[in-house]
């Protein structure tokens, strides 16, 4: 087996492929390959930089690390939806094609039997099969749902490059048999799944999320309204009362009776400073 080398990993899968008959499956496979080829051509990924594996209802592409990941991601966000609309417009209801996609990076080795080996590839496949991406596709009217790995988000998405809006991606957790995986879903997070990126609608910081550092207000379980804050406790500390005269600090005289903020009352003269610790009556 060859040494693992850095690759870009692209996976695309047809929704409900096994529900179709043989003729429809053959048609869907042709459409899948055509859409994939057009996206890669749009990203200027030459065929010499690609390795393809056929998985029946899905296609896997290993792409040379020298190819632009940004251009490929931009093509997935623009070219694939356009191609899907063009194909589905002319197809019967039973031949509609809807796709899940994953874009990841990592180290992959190719063995003597042309098999692909690598934990980064395994994780990408788990993202593709995860319930978050499946649920997202069920809610999408354009028939396309995409998520990217943490490495693609860190290296490309979070920098908000042209054609790849950072605020359009939301952090989600994908459960797998080897534990949870962090991924970034393009578009709205499906119902029943949590957005971990701390943003509300339109990418704005959500109250109580990670984006603004503020805790969400607690609500009464009885009324659902914001709970009233408890009354402030009185200041701690001793309360002194002096009878006879007004207090004088550091040589200055404060005349008359004084009422402290803690509720205590000062009556009479108190002199601290010139004659330390002396309390004088009238």
Report pLDDT for 112.
Answer: 80
* N-terminal to C-terminal alpha carbon distance within the chain: 101
**Cα 271 off chain centre by:** 63
Report pLDDT for 272.
Answer: 45
CATH tag, 5-203: 3.30.70.1230
Structural contact between residues 183 and 193, judged by C-beta atoms closer than 8 angstroms: no
Q: Is the pLDDT of residue 119 over 60?
A: yes
Report pLDDT for 280.
Answer: 45
Report pLDDT for 54.
Answer: 84
Report pLDDT for 193.
Answer: 85
More confident residue, 278 or 231: 231
Report pLDDT for 233.
Answer: 52
Report pLDDT for 177.
Answer: 81
Q: Is the pLDDT of residue 232 over 50?
A: yes
Mean pLDDT to the nearest integer, 158-180: 93
Closest by Cα among 169, 170, 173 to 127: 173
Strands of the sheet containing 270-272, edge to edge, are 252-253, 247-249, 270-272, 278-279
Mean pLDDT to the nearest integer, 113-137: 93
SS (H, E, C) the chain: CCCCEEEEEEEEEECCHHHCCHHHHHHHHHHHHHHHHHHHHHCCCCHHHEEEEECCCEEEEEEECCCCHHHHHHHHHHHHHHHHHHHHHHCCHHHCCCEEEEEEEEEEEECCCCCEECHHHHHHHHHHHCHHHHHHHHCCCCCEEEEEEHHHHHHCHHHCCCCCCHHHEEEEEECCCCCCEEEEEECCCCCCCCCCCCECHHHCECCCCCCCCCCCCCECCCCCCECCCCCCCCCCCCCCCCCCCCEEECCEECCCCEECCCCCEECCCEEECCCCCEECCC
Angle 62-184-137 from CA coordinates, rounded to 5°: 85
Report pLDDT for 40.
Answer: 97
How many other CB atoms sit within 10 Å of the CB of residue 80? 22
Structural contact between residues 129 and 141, judged by C-beta atoms closer than 8 angstroms: no
More confident residue, 120 or 225: 120
Report pLDDT for 261.
Answer: 43
Confidence of residue 169 (pLDDT cuts 50, 70, 90): very high
Report pLDDT for 207.
Answer: 39
**Whether this model's pTM surpasses 0.75:** no
Report pLDDT digits (tens) over 259-280.
Answer: 444 445 545 554 444 444 444 4
Confidence of residue 170 (pLDDT cuts 50, 70, 90): very high
Domain extents in the chain:
5-203, 247-279
């Amino acid at each position: 087996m060859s040494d693992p080398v850095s690759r870009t990993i692209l996976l695309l899968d047809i929704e409900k492929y096994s529900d179709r008959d043989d003729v429809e499956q053959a048609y869907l496979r042709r459409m899948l390959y055509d859409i994939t080829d057009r996206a890669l051509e749009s990203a200027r990924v030459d065929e010499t930089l690609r390795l393809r594996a056929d998985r029946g209802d899905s296609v896997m592409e290993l792409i040379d690390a020298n190819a632009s990941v940004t251009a490929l991601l931009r093509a997935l966000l623009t070219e694939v939806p356009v191609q899907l609309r063009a194909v589905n417009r002319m197809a019967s209801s039973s031949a509609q094609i809807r796709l899940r996609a994953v874009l990841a990076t990592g180290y992959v080795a190719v063995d003597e039997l042309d098999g692909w080996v690598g934990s980064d590839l395994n994780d990408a496949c788990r993202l593709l099969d995860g319930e978050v991406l499946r649920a997202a596709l069920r809610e999408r009217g354009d028939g396309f749902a995409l998520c990217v790995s943490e490495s693609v988000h860190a290296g490309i998405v979070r920098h908000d490059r042209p054609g790849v809006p950072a605020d359009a991606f939301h952090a989600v957790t994908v459960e797998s048999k080897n534990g949870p995986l962090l991924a970034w879903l393009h578009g709205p997070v499906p119902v029943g799944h949590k957005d971990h990126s701390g943003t509300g609608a339109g990418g704005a910081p959500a109250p109580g999320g990670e984006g603004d550092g503020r805790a969400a207000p607690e609500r009464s379980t009885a009324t659902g309204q914001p709970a009233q804050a408890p009354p402030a406790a009185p200041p701690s500390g001793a309360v002194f009362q002096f009878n006879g005269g007004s207090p004088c600090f550091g040589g200055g005289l404060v005349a008359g009776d004084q009422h402290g903020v803690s509720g205590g009352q000062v009556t009479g003269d108190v002199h601290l400073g010139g004659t330390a610790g002396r309390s004088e009556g009238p």
